[in-house]
Structure 1
């Protein structure tokens, strides 16, 4: 495994700047998630590290050595794509073994058999090794796709939204599997997604991208609790943070603040200003309340067994909210 360092990396496609002056350190053994919407620069950053794109400026180092001039095969990285990219005419065993039989690796067949079996067992598809790839379910095919990266034991694993085409249960199952595999291997993972649940549950570090730029990097907890802007604050958290004018609940905003951000834990129910319950969403382990406070909509959480119903009136007040200026930049309150 190896540390990966991007230093002032930029990449444009014509007039479109896909990556803007990104400096980022992916620690050895970390599980780093790049988070952002479509067009934020996540996949381009991944492809730059893999060598599938070359930066217009800046440097990329793996294990302390620049790889900008290296071909993809020389970088010793493995990439998992959103689509499975399996060989349909081959068995699961041969799909997993394929990278190890390449001229670059050229591993002996007995060693290939041992490694394929170990990876298949780790991914819980050992009983499928003799099946054709076309005979697998979507979740099993994605496990094989991930397994083809794992067998190589590269310096870093690059994953481009590998779970986004799966159903909710399979995504949840494979999130657990990937985190377990990461812990067992002590490997370095760089994972791209727009899904905040994947970022919160799997990452040791999250990098939030916006229009090609890295706007914040830290642990999931740091990003959630101490966001640098409204953009970052809106990337993590369910329900999403509610943004209101700074004076909604009266005076008390710090100098320069024009907006307050309220997460569910920032809202005290039972005292303060009156709000009307517009909708109650009962989700089993939690209940979401959709409230109207004057002209403003607020979403918060209540006890799963709350008797509140649409049309009820409750009192709410803020507690240690987040403050932002007119540009959306965080102000410490």
Structure 2
């Protein structure tokens, strides 16, 4: 496995800047998640690391080796695309075995058979090994696509939202399996998603992208608890962080234009009076949708709360975040 390093990488398409002077390091053995909405530059970053595209400027290194001018095959990476890419005339077994039959790898047949079986069991497709790819459901096809990367032993695994086409249960199952595989093998994963749950549950490191700029990197818990901006704070957390005028509560520091309150940063029982707009019972918790002087906010409370729409709840902030007019954090 290998460390991945980007140094001042820039990539433009016409007048559009996909990446702008991005520098980051994916540590050897990390599960590094690039997080951001569509257009943030996530897939462009993966394509540059994979060698499917070239930067306009900057340098890329894998395992300490400069790879900017190397072909994808020379970089020894495995990529899983958002849309499954399989050979339709082949069976699942043949699709999984295909990467191992490369002249570069020269894998013995007994090792191919063993590896294919292991990966098929991990991805819950053992019973489909002799089916043609065209006979599979969309979710099964994506699992085979993931399996084609897992059967290899590349320097880096690159994954472009591989779970987005799966149903909720399978998505949850594969989050656990991918994390287990990464932890067990010590593999380096560079994983792209807009799904904050995937980032929070799988990542050892998160990189937050905003219109081609890397705004914050670190462990997901660190970014959640110590965001550098409104944008970074809004990328993690469910329910989303409440962003309100700083003067809605007393005690805002000089220069603060906004206050950020995650659900657990809202203390109930004293402070400003707010009205309950809606109550959502979710089993293990209840979400309260509140209105405070015509500003909406969301918090969580006890699962068995007797509160209902129209009730009055007193609230105050606890250890809030403050941001200036540009959205940057004020400490």
Shift of 1:106: 3.1
Structure 1 counterpart of 2:134: 134
Equivalent-residue separation in structure 2 for 1:64 and 1:15 (angstroms): 32
- Deviations for 1:8-59, whole angstroms, at most 9, x for unmatched residues? 0000011111011000100000000000011000000000000000001000
Shift of 1:86: 1.4
Structure 1 counterpart of 2:199: 199
Shift of 1:297: 0.5
Residues 1-333 of structure 1 mapped to structure 2, 5 A cutoff: 1-250=1-250, 252-332=251-331
Equivalent-residue separation in structure 1 for 2:292 and 2:265 (angstroms): 15
Paired residue secondary structure (1:305): coil
CA RMSD of aligned residues (A): 1.1
Equivalent-residue separation in structure 2 for 1:72 and 1:214 (angstroms): 24
Equivalent-residue separation in structure 2 for 1:225 and 1:205 (angstroms): 14
Unaligned runs of at least 5 residues, structure 2: none
Equivalent-residue separation in structure 2 for 1:317 and 1:74 (angstroms): 57
Equivalent-residue separation in structure 1 for 2:137 and 2:51 (angstroms): 31
Shift of 1:83: 1.3
Equivalent-residue separation in structure 1 for 2:110 and 2:245 (angstroms): 67
Shift of 1:120: 2.0
- Deviations for 1:115-141, whole angstroms, at most 9, x for unmatched residues? 222222333333332222233333332
Equivalent-residue separation in structure 1 for 2:56 and 2:83 (angstroms): 28
The structure 1 segments of at least 4 consecutive aligned residues displaced by more than 6 Å after TM superposition are none
Shift of 1:85: 1.0
> TM-score, normalising length from structure 1?
0.97
Shift of 1:212: 0.2
Equivalent-residue separation in structure 1 for 2:280 and 2:127 (angstroms): 42
Equivalent-residue separation in structure 2 for 1:273 and 1:195 (angstroms): 34
Paired residue secondary structure (2:291): strand
Equivalent-residue separation in structure 2 for 1:23 and 1:268 (angstroms): 39
Equivalent-residue separation in structure 1 for 2:56 and 2:88 (angstroms): 37
> TM-score, normalising length from structure 2?
0.97
- Deviations for 1:218-239, whole angstroms, at most 9, x for unmatched residues? 0000010000000000110011
